[in-house]
Structures are given as C-alpha cells and as structure tokens.
C-alpha cells in the first residue's frame, strides 16, 4: 500500500474516531436534557399532589403551564387492586412493583412503558388517597405519565444528522488526506 493511501486511511480513521466521540457525547447530553425536562415536570406534579393534602381519587391538582402543565395521563391504583384512570383515557400498566407501592402507600420510582403506540415516562409514588370527597383515606399508588414520542422523534432526527455529519467528516478527511 502506498504512503498516500496509508496517510488517507489514517486521516480518515482519526477524524472518524474524533467525530464519533463528539457526536456520541453530544447525543447523550441532548438525550439527557430532553428526558430530564420530562422527569422534572413529573416530579413537580408529584410535589404539588403531595403538598396539597389528601389526594382525592377523582382529580389531582395540576401544575402551571410554565412548569410543564399537568401530567397528560394520571391513574390511581388502590391497595385492593382497583384501578381508576383520571386523565388521558389510557390505562397505564400495573406491575408488581406498582402493586407493592399501592398496598403500602409509600415508595417512588420512574420507568418507561409502551401503551399501544405511545412511549411514556411514568412516575409512580405511594400516597394516602380518598376514593371520593369525604371518604376515609386508603393506601394507594398514583401513576403520572407524560409522552416521550416527541423526544423520540427529536432524537431520531438528531441521529440522522449526526450520521450524515460523521460520514461527511470522514469523507472530507480522506479527501484532504490524499
């Protein structure tokens, strides 16, 4: 192999590795920031729900539009296994972990789920819930969910742009290396 070809390959490989690292880091930062916004809005909703006193099974207080607005999907799971959908019309999955939180009325975790074509970020937390106004509180779990389809779409477009950038950077390095 001639010196010219070796220099071209080394230049292309070097730029490829550098661009790949930069693209990977940028992608992870953007992904983290987008998902963090969804998580922060869910956490703000949880804090409003918990500080408002007893959670009523019919409605949950909302957060302001500046803070992301109320969670698009809301569901209550009572300790006895009964499920009550409050907002959004989707029935969120009830796993063994959600049932444990509902039985105790304490606990907290976040997860991603798919319901049909909807990719959702779900926050589950335990609380004492009044099934209706004036009734005695019972342990339960509240599930708050926000769609991630918009985030997924942005990340998909970003992956395409980064792939084109990577290919262009390597091609340019090979040409200039020659």
pLDDT per residue as tens digits for the range 5-56: 887 788 778 888 888 899 899 999 999 999 999 999 898 888 877 776 556 5
Helix and strand element counts for the chain (H, E): 3, 6
Q: Which residues pair with 76 in a beta bridge?
A: 84, 142
Q: Could you give the C-alpha distances from 97 to 8, 15, 51, 68, 140, in angstroms and in order?
A: 55, 47, 24, 27, 12
Tens of pLDDT, residue by residue over 78-111, are 988 888 888 888 889 999 999 999 999 889 999 9
pTM for the model stands at 0.77
- Which has the closest alpha carbon to 99: 83, 110, 88? 83
What are the residue ranges of helices labelled H in 52-148?
Answer: 96-104
C-alpha 169/C-alpha 155 separation (Å) is: 20
What's CA 69's distance to the chain center, in Å?
16
Residue 42 burial (C-beta neighbours within 10 Å; 0-12, 13-18, 19+): buried
């Amino acid at each position: 192999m001639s010196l010219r070809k070796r220099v071209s390959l080394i230049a292309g490989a070097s730029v490829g590795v550098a661009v790949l690292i930069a693209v990977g880091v940028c992608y992870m930062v953007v992904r983290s920031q987008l998902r963090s916004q969804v998580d922060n809005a869910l956490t703000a909703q949880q804090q409003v729900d918990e500080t408002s006193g007893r959670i009523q099974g019919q409605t949950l207080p909302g957060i302001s539009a500046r803070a992301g607005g109320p969670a698009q999907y809301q569901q209550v799971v009572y300790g006895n296994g009964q499920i009550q959908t409050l907002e959004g019309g989707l029935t969120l999955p009830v796993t063994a972990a959600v049932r444990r939180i509902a039985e105790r009325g304490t606990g907290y975790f976040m997860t991603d789920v798919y319901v049909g074509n909807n990719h959702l970020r779900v926050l589950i937390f335990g609380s004492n819930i009044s099934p209706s106004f004036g009734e005695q509180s019972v342990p339960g779990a509240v599930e708050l969910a926000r769609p991630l389809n918009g985030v997924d779409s942005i990340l998909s477009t970003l992956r395409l742009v980064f792939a084109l950038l990577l290919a262009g950077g390597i091609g340019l390095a090979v040409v200039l290396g020659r």
